[in-house]
Structure 1
Amino acid sequence: MNAKTADKIATALIVTIAAIIILILAGLLGYILIRGVGHISFDFLTSPPETIRAGGGIGPQLFNSLFLLVLTMIITIPLGLGAGIYMSEYAKPGRGTDFIRLVVEVLSSFPSIVVGLFGLLVIVNLFGFGFSLFSGALALTVFNLPLMVRITEQGLKSVPREQKEAGLALGLSKWKTIRSIMLPIAIPVILTGTILAAGRVFGEAAALLFTAGMSSPRLDFSDWNPLSPFSPLNPFRPAETLAVHIWKINSEGLAPDAPEIAAGASAVLIITVLLFNMIARWFGRYVHRKFTATK
């Protein structure tokens, strides 16, 4: 077999695999959206489950998912960025650094049910946070932190060495070089890790069953006192997220229109993730252009 034939076969094989992956993704998204979009309405998105239909309405669950995303990212992003910067620029090569990287790899492969049980025993019971959004955010941080650390480290290492050395040669401190030169260039890579971490927050259910809980108090959206037990801004209240609600509505079988509710909630979840990804990528490109003065 000559080189041209081998190249054509390899190209055809790679294109075929890529097409199969795209078709699978398109089929999955199309199936979920076609089944669920027809059940979405304004009342469905804003009303609690007990107000319309038997089990219908996902307003509190949708809000809980978004609120949990914000809490988790507030915890994950500073810790992930700090650890990634340390591993990339400050940690000296050696057994200690290799051990830290091994721990990060192990954490990233933990099953969600194990993290959920850990959260139940340590965060919920031992630390006394109870079933709450804050407990769920801490449990999800265990998932997301390894990803953020690795992505940040890889993003900083992808910065051309010449640019880093140019900053140091101009008399900039190491931290000033990282903050003003390296981080803006690495933002697209770091943003990709943030999007992946956020997607897991939206879709995670197993860990949240044992930490955030499977029920929510009747929320009063006119009460914005974060210390009130019925306030939607209270991070220490139990909260059923959208992914948990989909699992619960199907497993209990109490609602006569459970398949329709689950289909509509699944479509909302997919649309929310897609919108978040597009907005985050647009914001990342804007920040990258702003800091690097590129068009």
Structure 2
Amino acid sequence: MNSKVSDRIATGVFVAIAVIIVAVLVSLLGYILFNGVQNISLDFLTSPSSNIMEGGGIRDQLFNSFYILILTMIITIPLGVGGGIYMAEYARPSKLTDFIRTCIEVLASLPSIVIGLFGLLMFVQLTGWGYSILGGALAITIFNLPVMVRVTEDALRSVPSDQKQASLALGVTKWHTVKTVLIPAAIPSIITGAILAAGRVFGEAAALLFTAGQVTTRLDYSNWNPFAHNSPLNFMRPAETLSVHIWAINTQSLVPDAPVIQSGASAVLVICVLIFNLLARLLGSAIHKKLTATK
């Protein structure tokens, strides 16, 4: 077999793999959107869920999902990026560094149900908070930290060493080099890591079921006092997210229009993830251009 034939076979195999991946994604999204978009309406998005026998809308669950997402990313991004910077630029090869990497890998491979049970013990029972948005955000942060740390570390290490050495040769301090040279060059990859971490917040159900709870307080959107029990901004209240709501509708099957609600909620969840990913990539590209002065 000559080299040209081998090249064509290899090219065909990789193209086939790419086609299969795209086909699976398109068929999955197409099935969810085709069955769910027809059930989405303004009333469905803006109405609260009624009692378990009546169904209702997904207003509160949708708000809770975004609220937990924001809180989780506020905690995750500084810790994850800081940990990645330390591992890439400041940690010297040693047994301690190897132990930290092992801990990161173990955290990344833990099942969500284990994180949920840990969160139930730590953030619900020991703290005395009960089911709360803050407990759910902290539990999801445990998921997201390994992703952010590893992505940030790999992104910083992928920056050409000539840029770093040129900055240091000019007498610039190490931290200033990291801040003005390495991080701007690594921003696109860091944004990608943040997108991956945010996607887990939208789709996670097991960990949030044990920490944020399944019951949603009837929210008063005219009261934005974060200490009021029915305020949307109260992060110590129990909150059912959209993914947990879909799970509850599918498993309990007590709502007469359960198929309509779960298909519509699933479509909304997928659309939110797609929009968030698109906006995050556009934002990351804009930040990269601004920091690196590229067109």
Which whole-Å deviations, capped at 9, do the CAs of 1:16-41 have from their partners, x for residues lacking one?
Answer: 01101100110000000000000101
State the 1:152 CA deviation: 0.4
Counterpart mapping for 1:137-286 below 5 A = 137-286=137-286
Verify: 1:105 aligned to 2:105, yes or no.
Answer: yes
Counterpart Cα distance in 1 of 2:153 and 2:7? 35
Distance 1:135 1:245 in 2: 18
Q: Deviations over 1:23-77 (max 9, x none)?
A: 01100000000000001011111110129x9212000000000000000001100
The residue that corresponds to 1:117 in the other structure is 117
Q: Residue 160 of structure 2 aligns to which amino acid in structure 1?
A: P
For residue 12 of structure 1, report the CA deviation from its aligned partner: 0.3
Q: Which amino acid aligns with 1:262?
A: Q
The code of the aligned residue for 2:71 comes to: L
For the residue of structure 2 that corresponds to 1:166, the secondary structure is: helix
- What is the DSSP-based 3-state SS (H/G/I as helix, E as strand, rest coil) of the residue aligned with 2:234? coil
Aligned to 2:93: 93
* Equivalent position amino acid for 1:236 in 2: M
Cα deviation for residue 249 of structure 1 reads 1.0
Structure 2 Cα separation of the partners of residues 152 and 185 of structure 1 = 11
Alpha-carbon displacement from aligned partner over 1:115-166 (angstroms, at most 9, x marks no partner)? 0001001111112221001000010011000000000000100111011111
**CA distance in 2 between partners of 1:194 and 1:14 (Å):** 28
Residue matched to 1:28: 28
What residue identity is the alignment partner of 1:115? I
> Structure 1 stretch 120-129 or stretch 70-79: which is displaced more?
120-129
1:71-86 matched pairs, under 5 angstroms:
71-86=71-86
Describe the SS at the equivalent of 2:211.
coil
Deviates more, 1:147-156 or 1:53-62: 53-62
Does 2:68 correspond to 1:68? yes
**Structure 2 CA distance for aligned equivalents of residues 148 and 77 of structure 1:** 7
Displacement of 1:94 after TM fit?
A: 1.4
- What amino acid maps onto 1:198 in structure 2? A
Q: What corresponds to 2:17 in structure 1?
A: 17
Question: How far 1:252 moved relative to its partner?
Answer: 1.2
Number of residue pairs the alignment of both structures matches: 295
Task: Tell me the residue number matched to 2:4.
Answer: 4
Partners of 1:236 and 1:169 in 2: CA distance:
50
* TM-score, structure 2 as length reference: 0.98
What is the distance in 2 between the residues matched to 1:196 and 1:130? Answer: 28
Residue in structure 1 matched with residue 294 of structure 2 by the alignment: 294
SS in 1 for 2:224: coil
**Residue number in structure 1 paired with 2:42:** 42
Deviations 1:229-274 (A, max 9, x none): 1000011100000000000011111111100100000000000000
Report the Cα distance in structure 1 between the residues aligned to 2:114 and 2:189, rounded to whole angstroms: 29
What is the distance in 2 between the residues matched to 1:95 and 1:147? 22
Residue 186 of structure 1: how far off its partner (Å): 0.1
C-alpha separation in 2, matches of 1:176 and 1:293? 18
Cα deviation 1:83-120 (Å, max 9, x = unaligned): 10000000001111111111100100000001000100
Cα deviation, 1:205-226, whole Å, max 9, x if unaligned, reads 0111100000111100000000
